[in-house]
Amino acid sequence: MRKGFASNARLVLLSLGVFACFAGLAARLVWLHWLERESYTAFLEKARKQTIVELARRGDILDVRGNRLATSRNLIELGADPQDLRAADEAKWPELARLLGLPYSDLRPLLTRRFATPAEAGAQGVDAAAQGRPIRWVKLSEEVEEATYDRIQELGIKGVYGIRHYRRVYPGGQLAAHLLGYINKEQTPVTGVERHFDFYLRGQAGWRESERDGHRRELAQFRSREIPATDGLDIVLTLDMFVQHIVEEELAEIARKFQPESATIIVGDPATGAILALANWPTFDLNHFNTAPLAAQRNIAITDVYEPGSTFKIVASSAALNERLVTPSSVFDCSLSTVEYQGKPRSLPREAHNLGKLTVAEIVGKSSNRGAAQLGMLLGSDRLYDYAHAYGFGDETGYPLGGEVSGVLHPVAKWDGLTITRMPMGHSVSATPLQVHCAMGVIASGGVLSRPWLVREIRDNTGRTVVPYEPMPRRRVISRETADIMARLLVEAASAEGTGKAAAIEGYQVAGKTGTTQKIIDGRYSTSHHIGSFVGFFPANRPQVQITVVVNDGRLLTGGLAYGGTVAAPSFKRIGEQLIPYLGIRPAGAPAPRAAIALTANVR
C-alpha cells in the first residue's frame, strides 16, 4: 500500500514551520509586554490620557454704583467633525442653520466636505497629499450664546460639539476707554485697569485629568483628578458712569465746535481725591480696539505735558499768603516793565492790558502776569521751587494705573535769569492735566495734596470686600486758612469781572482759574497755537465737585484766540449744571447734605 502525501519529512517541516510561527509570536509578545513594556505603556498613556483646562471667568469692572463697565460673556465656539456625522441627522441640519443664523446653503458644504483638497493637505505637510486628508474639525460659529447652544444640543446631531470660552465686552463702548484698557485677541491685558489689576481680575484656570476613546471623546468615568476654576475678582472704581457720560458728551461737543488737536476733562471729589470721571479726545471703542489708531488710545491726561499758564498762578499767590509776606489787600504796581531782583533788573512779562496798581486779590482775579511775577520774586527762587514741588509739579501724582509722566520742574540751579519772573505765570514748567487737577485740589480740599483715588475696592462674586482702598492724602501744602482765602480770591476770577466769567453758575459760588498758554512750535512760542484751560470747583465755601478742562489747540470759527475762558470755562459750567441735580449739590448757604457724593457708602 502506497504512503499518503503527508510523508514524515513533510510533517516535520510543517511542524517546524508552525512552531516557528508561534515562537515568533511569543517572542513578539515578550518584546511588547516585557522588554519594551515601559515605552509602549507611556505611549498608550499619552494617547489615552488628557488634561482638560477649564477657563476661569474674568472678573467685572464696576463703577461706584455697581454698573458694569467691563464684563465677560460666556460663549461657545461651535464646530463639527465631518467624519463623525450621521446620514440619519441630515434632516436636522436646516434647523441647525436657523439657530446659527446661517443660510443652509452655506452650512451644508461645511458639513459634507470630509476631506481636504490636495493643495491644503500639501500645505499641512501631509504625506500622499494628492489623496487629501480627513477633515476632523470645521468651525461653524465662533460665538454662540449659551441658550442657543442648549437648543443645538437638544437636536442630538452626532459630531457637532462646542468649546466653551469667554469674550471680554465693554457695554459702554468708548465709555472710560482710557481708564479701563482692554484685552487683546491673545487674551493679554494691554492698558488701564485691565492690565494693572490683571492679577485680581483673571482668576485661576481649573483642570481635570481624564481619558479619551479612539474618537477623542472624554471618558468621564475615568476622571482621576479635578481642580475647579476660580473666577476672577471684581474691581469697583470711584468712577461714576453717569458723570463719565456727561463728560464724554461734552468732549464730543468741544471736538465738534473747536476741532482741537486733543482735549481732556477730569471730574473729582476734592475732599477725597476720588476721580468721578476722566476722559480724553480723541477716544476709541474698546470693543473694536484693533481698528483704533494708537494716538487715540493714549491717556493724554497722564502722558502729555503742557505749560499750565495762568492756572499755575495759584502757587505763587497762595505761597506768598501762606508765608504771610502779603495779604489779599497788598498792592503791587503792575504797570512796571522791570523790577530789581537780587541786585539785577529783571524784565517782567507782558500783560494783555495795562492793569496799573493791583491788590493781591485783583492779581488773582484779573490774572496779572506781572503781579504773579512780583509775588514770585517776593518769595525767592528756593521758596517758589519748594511750593511748586509741594503742589505736585515735577512729580508723579500717584495715579494708580501707572504710565504717567512726572512733568518738568527744573531745580533752582538750572534756572536762567528769566525763570523767577516766568514760572509764577505758568511758563518754564510743564505738567500733565492730572497734575494741574491735583494742584487745584489743594485749594479745594483745605490745603492738602491727595493722590488720585480711582479704585474703591476689590470684591468677590458674592459682594464680599477682599481688598479695600481708601483715600490717600500725601501732604499738607498750605494752611486751611490760606486755602480758604485762596478760594475766595478764585471766586473773583470766575466772576463777571474775572477771566473765567463763562464758568459762573447761577446761584453757586464757583472758584476757579483760567489758563491760556502759547504752544512751543519749532522752539519758539507760537502766536496762533494755544492751550486753553479752566480748573475750578464749587460751591466755593463747601467744595463738592472739582472740574478740570484742557483744550489743546482749539480753533474758533471767528478766528480769535482760543483762550481758556472761551474754550474751556463754558464746558465747566455745562458739566456743573448737570451735576447739581444728579449729585444733590446745594447752593452756598444751604444746609450741607449728608452725602452729596456717595463714595463712602457701602455700594453693593
Least confident of 112-116, 198-202, 488-492, 577-581: 112-116
Please write the tens of the pLDDT for every residue from 520-565.
Answer: 887 788 878 889 999 999 999 999 999 999 999 998 877 667 889 9
Residues 102-128: what's their mean pLDDT?
70
Stronger pLDDT, 497 or 516, i.e. the higher one = 516
Q: Which helix (H) or strand (E) holds 278?
A: strand 274-281
Say if CB 69 and CB 171 are below 8 A apart: yes
Residue 492 pLDDT greater than 80, yes or no: yes
Amino acid at 312: F
- Rounded CA gap, 344 and 418, in Å? 11
Residue 88, judged by CB atoms within 10 A of its CB (0-12, 13-18, 19+), counts as exposed
H helix and E strand count, the chain: 21, 22
For residue 127, the model assigns a pLDDT of 44
Q: Helix-strand-coil percent breakdown of the chain, rounded to 5?
A: 40, 25, 35
> What pLDDT does residue 18 have?
84
Better-scored residue on pLDDT, 130 or 182: 182
Instruction: Give the pLDDT of residue 53.
Output: 67
Per DSSP, 204 falls in state B
pLDDT reading at 363 higher than 90: yes
pLDDT at 496: 77
More confident residue, 52 or 216: 52
* Model confidence at 497: pLDDT above 50: yes
Query: Is the pLDDT reported for residue 49 higher than 50?
Result: yes
pLDDT at 126: 43
- DSSP string of 130-175, one letter each residue: GG--B---EEEEEEEEHHHHHHHHHHT-TTEEEEEEEEEE-TTTTT
Domain 241-454+470-583 homologous superfamily, CATH: DD-peptidase/beta-lactamase superfamily (3.40.710.10)
What does the DSSP assignment read for 45-84? HHHHEEEEEEPPPPPPEE-TTS-EEEEEEEEEEEEE-GGG
Q: What is the model's pLDDT at position 598?
A: 38
- The C-alpha atoms of residue 459 and residue 561 are separated, in whole angstroms, by 49
- Whether residue 180 contacts residue 286, with contact meaning beta carbons closer than 8 Å, is answered with yes
Q: Find the range with the poorest average confidence among 430-439, 498-507, 559-568.
A: 559-568
Calculate mean pLDDT across residues 195-202. 95
pLDDT at 211: 58
The pLDDT of residue 44 is: 57
Q: What is the pLDDT of residue 313?
A: 96
What is the per-residue pLDDT for 36? Answer: 67
- Per-residue pLDDT, averaged over 38-42, amounts to 65
Does residue 492 or residue 318 have the better pLDDT?
318
Domains in the chain: boundaries: 241-454+470-583
Question: Which residue did the predictor score with more confidence, 164 or 103?
Answer: 103
Measured CA to CA, the distance from residue 195 to residue 197 in angstroms comes to 6
**Band of pLDDT at residue 603, cut at 50, 70 and 90:** very low
Of the listed ranges 184-188, 256-260, 417-421, 451-455, the least confidently predicted one is 184-188
